[in-house]
Amino acid sequence: MTQNLKIAEQMVVHLIAETNRDHYETQWSYELTSDVSNIEVVSAPGTNTLRIHPCWLRYVVAQGDFKSCVVDEITAWYLLAQATGSASVATAA
């Protein structure tokens, strides 16, 4: 089970690196924590933290739902920020 969490966390590491390349105006990081039920985004000026419950992460990866449950959380954050005008949403070409 520990190996599965390491694989899942590695997927998050790659996602964060890709997001930071594509969305250079905001620096993203992640935190594995049992303080959240599933997943949440904590925003501060110029930085966002993806907080993820490790058991939930392991489950969604095992189910093949990483994209719809984790990747789409970042996509949704940008869409919401763009729709509300609460963040500058520039992407690298």
- Tokens matching residue 53: 């419950």
User: What number of other Cβ atoms are within 10 A of residue 77's Cβ?
Assistant: 20
User: What number of other Cβ atoms are within 10 A of residue 22's Cβ?
Assistant: 13
Model pLDDT for residues 39-89, shown as the tens digit of each residue: 999 998 889 999 999 999 999 999 999 999 999 999 999 898 888 886 544
Whole-model pTM: value is: 0.83
